Amino acid sequence: MEPVHPEFVPDASLSRAEMETLQRDIAEQAVFADDLPFDPDTVCRHRESGQQQLDETGGGDGGNPGEAPIVLGVDQAFLDDERAVSALVAMRNGEVIERVHAVAPTEIPYIPGLLSFREGGAILAGFRELSVEPDIAFFDGSGRIHFREAGIATHIGVMLDLPSIGVAKSLLCGTPRSSTEGLAEGERVPIEADADVTAPDGTVIGHAVQSRQYDSPNRHINPLIVSPGHRVSAETAADLVLACSAGYKLPEPTRLADQYADEAKKTVGT
DNA sequence: GCGACAG
DNA sequence: ATCTTGTCGC
């Protein structure tokens, strides 16, 4: 698929100030409320068994009528300091229906807050290779949990006008409403905007989500940090990540994209 | 100047 | 993200 908003294509040649201005413009266009082309409850409830569900009706307006929604996992790996590989894995009803990958220059180093300008090129190249129409995409990193409410999931989601969610392993900014330690599997803690975020203080910009947890004493797993990218609410984003989890910390689309990115990295060679 | 910071 | 074997604890 191609960008619906070419003016938001991440341009690594912009100055830092211009990048930040672009992010504010993107955040203005972002929709942090549910506007999905499918019913969130129809996304396959994965579950440890790895067993799939039979699809019933599965669709709202717009998307893939009569079938369960297509959930896309997107993740990047690096061949070296100047080339990124983006891997995209599309799933429906818990099964992979397409996998594509693409390589593109990174152009700029990693700078907290500007991740989409480093990895965006590879991601866009990956989307050009994709033939199916995803209903929603999971990105590695933040969405609204970002200084200017425009993390990589929001940036790419708005540019493509594709519902999106950010799935990160650690917190970029914002403040958990309560302790995120000792959560049981399935539990979540709201992450609120603070002085570091453009949203009004106290705005719920995402959640710490315990997608997996050991049942015993010493030894625990840290929660995922989930935030809305575009056209999804913070609550539904967390619901969908849990629905797509299958016994691992990362939701299946993300876990498989992660795995595929490493595989592609070795295949592409140097 | 110091701190803090997705991947 | 990436460099990497064993190892501690489910």
Range of A264's domain?
6-46+69-268
Q: How confident is the model at residue A67 (pLDDT cuts 50, 70, 90)?
A: confident
Nearest nucleotide to A142 by CA–C1' distance?
B6
A28 phi and psi angles, rounded to 5 deg: -65, -35
On whether the CB atoms of residues A79 and A101 are closer than 8 A, the answer is no
Q: For A220 and C6, how far is CA from C1' in angstroms?
A: 20
Q: Is the CB of A169 under 7 A from strand B?
A: yes
- What does the longest C-alpha to C-alpha distance in chain A come to? 51
Mean of all residue pLDDT scores within chain A: 92
A196 phi and psi angles, rounded to 5 deg: -80, -10
> Is A59 inside any structural domain?
no
| Nucleotides in chain C near protein beta carbons (<7 Å) | 1-2, 9-10
CA distance A176 to A206: 9
DSSP calls for A9-25: S--TTS-HHHHHHHHHH
Q: How confident is the model at residue A66 (pLDDT cuts 50, 70, 90)?
A: low
Predicted confidence at residue A46, as pLDDT, reads 65
Q: How confident is the model at residue A63 (pLDDT cuts 50, 70, 90)?
A: low
> Is A60 inside any structural domain?
no
> Is A107 inside any structural domain?
yes
In Å, how far are A49, A79, A81, A128, A220 from A143, measured between CA atoms? 30, 25, 24, 22, 26
> Is A262 inside any structural domain?
yes
Q: CATH no. for residue A174?
A: 3.30.2170.10
Q: Is the CB of A154 under 7 A from strand B?
A: no
Q: How confident is the model at residue A86 (pLDDT cuts 50, 70, 90)?
A: very high
Q: How confident is the model at residue A268 (pLDDT cuts 50, 70, 90)?
A: confident
Predicted confidence at residue A44, as pLDDT, reads 74
Could you give the number of structural domains in chain A?
1
